[in-house]
Structure 1
Amino acid sequence: MKQIESENLIINNSQEKIYSFLSNFNNFGKLMPEQIINWQSTENTCSFTIKGMTDLSMQIKEKMPFHTIMIIPNGKTPFDFELKCSFVALESNKTESQLTFFADLNPMLSMMASKPLENFVNMLNIRLKQKAEEAGF
């Protein structure tokens, strides 16, 4: 299984607030790039279209309060994956955040998708930092 990690980012907000924001897919949609269209969500599930590519559905598999959120496919997907969102409190209002994408990719798909997936997890983590620090939750 291919493992793609975002950069570790330090976010100037509490671990609890960051976890609470990201553990609800209704908030998760606010972090998506413009290539994501037809976003629909509940607290624990979401579906969307990657413009010009495919439709995807995801669900929250597991929540470990304030530390980890595990996201998995919900229904048919081009490949099996897990997205792990991890948070570590450094101080009361300072949290380290990292997103890790685990994907079951064949060698051809791995060559084509690795860089876009790396860009995706980094972009999500950067947008989470921006949302937490600029606008607050």
Structure 2
Amino acid sequence: MNLESPKVNVEKSSQDIFNFLSDIKNFEGLMPENISKFEVLENDKFLFALKGMPEIILKKKEVIPPNKIVLGAAGGKLDFSLVAEINETNENSSDVQLKFNGDFNPMMAMMIKGPIGKFIETLVTSIPKAI
């Protein structure tokens, strides 16, 4: 299952956005209002939970400065990744898009497609306000 957030323009350089997203503590400020738990486990790993959902642990898997950060599931039964793509439009403006990729059975994919789509849209639209 592959989902993409809308592209959001941020009035910052790609390096500024990359630096912001590279610090996983900053993801707490991007989370939706229905977050019930957020905890930094290591400098490249955090745990979060939304009300009514199981806890999810994300770990930084790959970084390609200043354009790409890949977070992946760290433990648990589900294997997925969340990719932040940053494309500079000029020296003080960049587009950011989040892409979710997961390998789920059709029933699970049908159940989580809506909530995951809304979740990544909330994350990406929070970036311009948070930086």
Query: Which category of TM-score, normalised to the shorter sequence, fits these structures?
Result: over 0.9
- Partner residue of 2:22? 23
Displacement after TM superposition at 1:34 (Å): 2.3
The residue identity in structure 2 corresponding to 1:105 is F
Which is further off, 33-42 or 10-19? 33-42
In structure 2, C-alpha distance between the alignment counterparts of 1:49 and 1:131, rounded to whole Å: 20
Alignment partner of 1:108 is 2:102: no
SS in 2 for 1:118: helix
- The correspondence of residues 1-137 of structure 1 with structure 2, limited to 5 A, is 2-41=1-40, 42-77=42-77, 79-132=78-131
In structure 2, C-alpha distance between the alignment counterparts of 1:76 and 1:110, rounded to whole Å: 16
Count of residue pairs brought into register by the alignment: 130
TM-score (norm 2): 0.93
In structure 2, C-alpha distance between the alignment counterparts of 1:117 and 1:55, rounded to whole Å: 14
In structure 2, C-alpha distance between the alignment counterparts of 1:32 and 1:130, rounded to whole Å: 12
Displacement after TM superposition at 1:24 (Å): 1.2
SS in 2 for 1:13: coil
Which is further off, 27-36 or 59-68? 27-36
SS in 1 for 2:33: coil
The residue identity in structure 2 corresponding to 1:66 is P
TM-score (norm 1): 0.89
Displacement after TM superposition at 1:37 (Å): 2.0
SS in 2 for 1:54: coil
In structure 1, C-alpha distance between the alignment counterparts of 2:19 and 2:43, rounded to whole Å: 11
In structure 2, C-alpha distance between the alignment counterparts of 1:103 and 1:123, rounded to whole Å: 19
SS in 1 for 2:43: coil
Structure 1: runs of 5 or more not aligned = 133-137
